[in-house]
Amino acid sequence: MSVDVPRFAFTAGLCFLLAQPTLEARSRIPVTEAIFSQQTAQNQQTLRQRLNAIRQRFGVSILMEEIPELNQWAPAPKGRTADEQLRNLLSPFPIEIKEVRAKTYVLSQKQKDSSRPVNASSSNAVPTAESRVIQNISGKVLTDETGEPLAGVSILIKGTLLGTMTNDKGEFRLDLPENGSTLVFSFVGYKTQEVIVRSQRILDIRLQIEAARLDEVVVTGYGNKSIRELTGAAVQIQAEDLQNVTSSTLLQNLQGKLAGVNIANAGGGPAGFMSIMIRGAGSLGGAFGSAYQPLIVVDGIIQASSETQNALAYLAPQDIASVTVLKDAASTALYGSRAANGVIVITTKQGKNGPTRITANVTMGINEPTLGKVRMMNSAERYDLMRQSFGNSFRRSNPTASDESVAAYVNQQAPASLLTHNTNWTNLIYNTGVTRNYEIGISGGNDKIKNYTGFNLYSEDPVKITDLYRRLNFRTNTEFTLNKRMVLSTALNGLYNTVQSDGVLNIASAGYYLLPFDSPTRADGSYRVGGSADPGWRSGGSFNPLYSVGKNWNKAKTFQVNADLTYRYRITDWMRFETANRLTLGQSGSTLYVSPKDSASFAITYPGYISKSQSLTLNTLTSNRLFLEKAYGTHDFKLILGAEYNRIRTESISSTGLGLQSDLLTVLGAKTVSAFESIVETRYASLFSELSYSLHNRYFLTGSFRRDGSSRFGINARYGNFYAFSGAWQVSDEAFLKGSNVLTNLKLRLSHGITGNSNPVADYATYGLYSFVSTPASQYLGQLGAIPSQIPNADLQWERQQTTNLGVDLSLWKRLNVTLELYDKRNFNLLQSVPLPTTSGFSSIARNIGSISNKGIELSLNSRNTTGKLRWETDFNIAFNRNQILALTNNNADIYRNSYVGTILRVGEAVGSYYMPKYAGVDPQTGNPLWEILQKDGNGSVTGVTTTPTIGLATLQVLGSAQPKWTGGLTNTLTYGNFSLSVLINFSAGYKILNRTRNNLEFDGSSATQNNIALPKGQVRWQKPGDIADAPIAIIGGNQDLYFPNSRYVERGDFARLRNVRLGYSLPRPVLSRMKMQNLTVFVSGDNLLTLTRFTGIDPEENGSFGEENAGKYPFARKYLAGLQLSF
């Protein structure tokens, strides 16, 4: 039955549309004389009256000369949009219409030169009282905040359609028909201003920026909606709000700007994977948190992501026109099975009518590494700890030894000569990096063809001495207007980037372990090899990572091309068809190399190692949509019907060589060679529909349905149905609120729906798989063959998410805009790899195992604090979220992820909760660490707490989770004259992080050949009986398996970061005019300038995807930048 639902939706919609002529005919039946008279009055209107009605209904500006036909009778126009109605209305008249900019039209008689400026004093004007020239005025329109001229401002004589527009210098002239005329100045995004003209001849007008308008358009992926029409939770950021941060990826520009959208970086490197989580974790995992990642839609077409590369990585921030985040089911259900984690809709820049415009941006700066509160011991500190360790160990082995014998032993093991060197290995591995960013954008067009072309070169020499990052982006978007009905759009964009990093040996983490007693260089300045064979080397078997620089590296290159072809055809004035198609070709390759001359690479069995890999991805998608829009009086209907098909195929091959004989980068030169090959293919097929209804442009209802099929799921559950319903009420348009100067906007929204998620499951997880046996040790009687490696699961199905959302939008005094969202998000059929008994012969199987809940509140505020010469605007957002597991399979039994990982899935707790022994401090008498044991009664209730010095006897306890309870951001923007200043702060709190950096490096003196991390500020170590200490006794060999995770290393991750500060200065308009330029701005900025936190690791940034920080984490860079922006 479910298979017929899309067919039913299509048939119902088609029947509805075919029935409309009958409905229209019935509406014209003269039932009574009164009705007939009313219809006659409505139909008998002049062209002037019709134009006024269109202007009032759609909020458009119509500029014109006095045309004789204005007083002629005109039939009611047909069409859904202002443009359609205007062209239909004017088609019988000798009047030309031209849209000079968005929502602004100029009308003129066809025999006239329509290219000249519109002016009420035209010599061809009919000499009526309305057009009689009494007064000639001129002037200039400027922005209130910067004093810059505004081009394209519409100026109307109130009560008429007479008017003009400002030129590119903000200047205008106009002939008035009488003294005391009122001029109306209007411009998109600015407050409309009325000025009464008496004896003035020259006017200088300053327009103020207006609060968010209800007719502003929000891009929702498959179409556009005005803010008034939105029934779901969606938020949009424009291009100008994405320019402050200079980064390698668009995601860094979004941090802290969207309520409920938590963006975190696995590390501060330019090529690091960034995780996006919208409204909490709704799944149980995937590589790098891929199960949590939202769907990316670029220019109306879905763009696939991989587990390690986000789909936004190939986009240059300068090419972005807007970013819309869809968060609830009403907004995302149209994307069905791939939208449970939210949808990010990207719109790239397009060409516009007008002369060619060129913009350019050059930014350069330096990067400084920030290691947070991590500090390794210097020589004096490590020397003192070493002496404690040897002394305590000797006393435990020889309890009757005298102080003299202990001192003699300690002096032998830790002589004062160790203090000869004091090497700070971290300072040698990290240095000052350099960032360079070059951008060029070219746009222009006419009524037939429009084009935007952008180039971007981003280059970063990161703070790690081994690394390089280069990215080159190219994009060209072209739109061809073939005729009044057909529009063809093409887009071509490419990415080429290269990334170089250290190879087998992570020099950053390796450097932490080296003792400060060792010098990195010999007397002649050459690098020491290190290791046990290096005379005088105190760091044991650890090699000198600086010796491997240049001999041990990993280089990766990525090339990607996206080609889009979109065709739009208007079938009737209420129906149009659109087909959008994308071909993505991506090729990536990497080489991991260790020179045979690199004797410091301990991880390789043979000297000389090379591994090469290549992958080719072909992603094709076609999306075909039918849009129907029809109005019946105050009833508006919109219907979308669509079908979509997506195929993603990746072919990979890799080869490895051990025992290279030379520096030639070829696998064939190795003693031992192995190879690997894989082909992965995924397919999606979809039908979707959406029906929207509005009454009086005040009450709105929307329903959507989508049916998806995916090759990732079992034959018994391959297809899924997803739907949503939503409604909105524009309360401020009601009579009891209309005209209020206090509550200028109030809107209520409610939505409910079901979406899906296929990210957590790997391709082919539903099938029974076989593995080839090639190694002699695994073969049967020396024969090649294949053995079962995966159990099939034909019932594996989609994760499903049910979301209910209540939203409130309000504006106060046209100065403060508030959006409040309350949501309840529940995920079912969670996909997870479940362990199997060893007797099965298999390690695990993918299953649907449980459900999760996320409940929360989001608040967004925008206030215009001052609007005079000093303009101050504030944007604030904060989101509160509670994450909780609702159910698990096997009667809700716990799923414990071993003592090393230290996390648990338990009903009632958050995803990724830490489950570890709880550290109880230090025994004052012995200095040994203590652990809590919970005493429980027969019902499992805790009745008391005791301690034990044996960690294996301690009670495992839930210690919190990595899911933040609240996140947000604060932006303040100030402009004064030609100066502008913006400050962005983002914050996150209410979560824990496993600080594995400390866990791995706080050895408590257990090793004589490795350095120790310095104790956090304020903590002390036990040294003698009676000491009340935080850290246990230092002893060779360590204390009770302290290496394994426990509460000692689980810390609060709360932080607030000064994300960006930017100060700019724009040249005054008169200077620019003389230079024949439109804009020239110089600026200085800083990124990641300050982080306030108690976390003692490298950096606390976390959104629940990673769960821990280790010594290999790439430090975040503090950037100081300067740049130049210009346009002409």
> pLDDT tens, 909-918?
998 899 999 9
**429 pLDDT above the threshold of 90:** yes
pLDDT of the residue at 37: 37
User: CA neighbours within 13 Å on the CB side: how many for 506?
Assistant: 9
Amino acid at 383: Y
Residue 242 CA to residue 231 CA, distance in Å, equals 26
Residue 904 CA to residue 914 CA, distance in Å, equals 6
**Mean pLDDT, range 853-864, rounded to an integer:** 94
Domains identified in the chain and CATH numbers: 1-39 (no CATH), 44-207 (2.60.40.1120), 217-363 (2.170.130.10)
- H/E stretch holding 6: helix 5-18
What does the pLDDT look like over 740-787, one tens digit per residue? 888 888 999 999 999 888 777 778 888 888 877 766 666 666 677 788
Backbone dihedral region for residue 283 (phi beyond 0: left; psi -120 to 50: alpha; all else: beta)? beta
**34 pLDDT above the threshold of 70:** no
- Across-strand partners of 687? 643, 707
Tokens in use for 718?
Answer: 């391959």
Tokens in use for 862?
Answer: 């925008």
Tokens in use for 780?
Answer: 């049967």
Amino acid at 749: R
Residue 528 CA to residue 518 CA, distance in Å, equals 10
Regarding predicted confidence, which is higher, 867 or 902? 902
Helix pair angle (20-27, 5-18), 10° resolution: 30
Mean residue pLDDT of the chain comes to 84
8 Å CB contact between 312 and 324? no
Residue 571's pLDDT band, with cuts at 50, 70 and 90, is very high
Residue 306's pLDDT band, with cuts at 50, 70 and 90, is low
Q: Tokens 């403060």 — which residue? A: 816
DSSP state of 507: H
pLDDT of the residue at 231: 86
For residue 646, the SS3 value is strand
What does the pLDDT look like over 465-507, one tens digit per residue? 999 999 999 999 999 999 989 999 999 999 999 999 988 778 8
Q: Which residues contact 701 (CB under 8 A, 6 or more apart)?
A: 231, 692, 693, 694, 725, 726, 727
Residue 623 CA to residue 684 CA, distance in Å, equals 12
Handedness of CA 302, 306, 309, 310 (dihedral sign): positive
pLDDT of the residue at 107: 79
Q: Is 180 exposed, middle or buried (0-12, 13-18, 19+ CB in 10 A)?
A: exposed
pLDDT of the residue at 21: 38
Phi, psi of 332 (to 5 degrees): -105, -15
pLDDT of the residue at 899: 75
**Mean pLDDT, range 1050-1075, rounded to an integer:** 90
pLDDT of the residue at 176: 78
DSSP state of 28: T
8 Å CB contact between 297 and 311? no
pLDDT of the residue at 989: 95
Regarding predicted confidence, which is higher, 1010 or 17? 1010
pLDDT of the residue at 214: 57
Q: Which residues contact 450 (CB under 8 A, 6 or more apart)?
A: 350, 351, 352, 353, 443, 444, 478, 479
Phi, psi of 127 (to 5 degrees): -75, 65
Handedness of CA 591, 592, 598, 599 (dihedral sign): negative
* Portion of the chain with pLDDT greater than 70, in percent: 88
Residue 352 CA to residue 28 CA, distance in Å, equals 42
Residue 27's pLDDT band, with cuts at 50, 70 and 90, is very low
Q: Which residues contact 400 (CB under 8 A, 6 or more apart)?
A: none
pLDDT of the residue at 866: 84
Q: Which residues contact 160 (CB under 8 A, 6 or more apart)?
A: 130
Q: Is 116 exposed, middle or buried (0-12, 13-18, 19+ CB in 10 A)?
A: exposed
* Portion of the chain with pLDDT greater than 90, in percent: 44
Q: CA separation (Å) from 545 to 231, 342, 462, 541?
A: 57, 43, 18, 12
Q: What would you report as the CA-atom Rg of the chain, rounded to the nearest whole angstrom?
A: 34
Query: Of the ranges 559-563, 682-686, 787-791, which one carries the lowest mean pLDDT score?
Result: 787-791
Tokens in use for 217?
Answer: 């358009």
Beta-strand relationship, 343-348 and 295-298: parallel
**Mean pLDDT, range 977-999, rounded to an integer:** 92
Amino acid at 736: F
pLDDT of the residue at 6: 39
Residue 645 CA to residue 579 CA, distance in Å, equals 12
What does the pLDDT look like over 803-825, one tens digit per residue? 999 999 999 987 899 999 999 99
**84 pLDDT above the threshold of 90:** no
8 Å CB contact between 274 and 265? yes
8 Å CB contact between 1078 and 1072? yes
Tokens in use for 1046?
Answer: 């426990």
Residue 287's pLDDT band, with cuts at 50, 70 and 90, is very low
Our measurement of the distance from residue 591's CA atom to the centroid of its chain's CA atoms, rounded to an integer in Å, reads 29
**Mean pLDDT, range 156-183, rounded to an integer:** 79
**425 pLDDT above the threshold of 90:** yes
**120 pLDDT above the threshold of 50:** no
pLDDT of the residue at 520: 95
For residue 1000, the SS3 value is helix
What does the pLDDT look like over 229-284, one tens digit per residue? 888 888 888 877 877 778 777 788 888 888 989 888 877 778 777 788 899 988 87
Regarding predicted confidence, which is higher, 597 or 566? 566
pLDDT of the residue at 53: 79
DSSP state of 162: B
